[in-house]
């Protein structure tokens, strides 16, 4: 596999809430190393020289990936504010940074110092890609909890798993979240292959909300088979870098966090 959990330690130290407010991914049914390398990446370089430099970097990375027997498809590559450092979006796994010579890749967050608040350099870059992914979802393929009192002030997407304790905790506060004018859209993201059947049964149920409630209480959900989007939604999560549940995003694709209280969600949305 290209990246292991141990490589995330430094990045997650700066975002430790992921570990204390989310359920981690277990046996993934779709491994990042099952990807195939191909296709030139797209970018937003403003000049011909920049575009040529990015294309050379793509070629170098693909060559080095192949030499190292790493199968990873590059989806997009963009210049960052950090000199000689590029942001690279990969299919089926989280984004990485690459040096301009294509000899080094770095996984994790790059944090800008010098201001009162720390700023994640990749947040806006990743959010742009995430927004495109979320735009492909159809509401009929989700479990939607509308905001109370009419038109929603905000909409959030939540990657969830019925077996995840932190998802249960968030689920208990849905009425309060909806009362604050927030529409919640659940996306299926089973944390391991062993949880896939239950999530598929929920998504195949006539009443998905009731089935999710039942599963969240530890009760079995009647097995049902249908054409369902669960595996596709799981893959979408991988493409966005999801590695635990709940994972909450706004409509702009910005990652808000793992489990949060209703007040914390509002605060993040209005930040």
Q: Quick count: other Cβ atoms within 10 Å of Cβ 116?
A: 4
Name the active-site residue from 23, 161, 185, 204. 161
Predicted pLDDT of residue 12: 39
Structure tokens at 185: 């859209």
Residue 99 burial (C-beta neighbours within 10 Å; 0-12, 13-18, 19+): middle
- Is 70 exceeded by the pLDDT of residue 27? no
DSSP state of 114: S
Per domain, the residue ranges of the chain are: 5-129, 135-269
Cβ-proximal residues to 170 (8 Å cutoff; 6+ apart), any chain: 158, 160, 246, 259, 260
Q: What would the pLDDT profile of 229-268 be if each residue is shown by its tens digit?
A: 999 999 999 988 898 999 999 999 999 999 999 999 999 9
Predicted pLDDT of residue 161: 97
What's the whole-number average pLDDT of the chain? 84
Predicted pLDDT of residue 153: 95
Are the C-beta atoms of 147 and 153 separated by less than 8 Å? yes
The angle at the Cα of 140, spanning 171 to 193, to the nearest 5 degrees, equals: 60
- Is 90 exceeded by the pLDDT of residue 26? no
**Known catalytic residue: 167?**
yes
Q: What would the pLDDT profile of 87-101 be if each residue is shown by its tens digit?
A: 998 887 778 999 999
Task: Choose the weakest-confidence range: 70-79, 98-107, 130-139, 245-254.
Answer: 70-79
Structure tokens at 131: 């927004």
Structure tokens at 182: 């927030």
**Known catalytic residue: 231?**
no
Going by CATH, does the domain composed of 135-269 fall within 3.40.190.10? Answer: no
Q: Which residue has the higher pLDDT, 74 or 19?
A: 74
- Is 80 exceeded by the pLDDT of residue 148? yes
Matching CATH number, 5-129, of 3.40.190.10, 3.10.450.70, 3.40.50.1820, 3.30.540.10: 3.10.450.70
Predicted pLDDT of residue 24: 75
Name the active-site residue from 167, 185, 213, 268. 167
Closest to 90 measured CA to CA, from 197, 241, 270:
241
**Known catalytic residue: 161?**
yes
**Known catalytic residue: 109?**
no
Name the active-site residue from 23, 109, 185, 191. 191
The CA radius of gyration of the chain, in Å to the nearest whole number, is 19
Q: Which residue has the higher pLDDT, 48 or 136?
A: 136
Predicted pLDDT of residue 21: 67
Average pLDDT over residues 79-86: 92
pTM of the model: 0.76
């Amino acid at each position: 596999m290209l990246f292991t959990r141990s490589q995330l330690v430094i990045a997650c130290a700066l975002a430790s809430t992921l570990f204390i407010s989310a359920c981690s991914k277990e046996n993934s049914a779709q491994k990042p190393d099952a990807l195939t390398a191909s296709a030139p990446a797209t970018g937003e370089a403003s000049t011909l020289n920049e575009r040529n430099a990015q294309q050379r970097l793509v070629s170098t990375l693909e060559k080095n990936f192949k030499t190292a027997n790493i199968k990873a498809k590059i989806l997009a590559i963009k210049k960052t504010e950090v000199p000689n450092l590029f942001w690279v979006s990969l299919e089926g796994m989280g984004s990485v940074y690459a040096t301009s010579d294509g000899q080094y890749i770095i996984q994790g967050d790059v944090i800008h110092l010098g201001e009162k608040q720390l700023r994640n350099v990749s947040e806006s870059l990743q959010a742009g890609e995430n927004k495109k992914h979320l735009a492909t979802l159809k509401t009929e393929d989700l479990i939607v909890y509308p905001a109370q009192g009419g038109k929603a002030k905000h909409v959030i997407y939540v990657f969830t798993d019925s077996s995840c304790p932190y998802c249960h905790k968030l689920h208990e506060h849905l009425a309060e979240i909806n009362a604050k004018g927030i529409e919640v859209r659940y996306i299926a993201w089973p944390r391991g292959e062993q949880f896939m059947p239950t999530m598929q049964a929920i998504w195949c149920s006539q009443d998905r909300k009731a089935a999710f409630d039942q599963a969240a209480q530890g009760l079995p959900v009647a097995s049902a088979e249908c054409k369902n989007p669960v595996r596709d939604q799981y893959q979408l999560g991988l493409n966005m870098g999801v590695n635990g549940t709940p994972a909450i995003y706004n409509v702009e694709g910005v990652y808000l966090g793992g489990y949060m209280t209703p007040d914390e969600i509002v605060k993040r949305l209005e930040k």
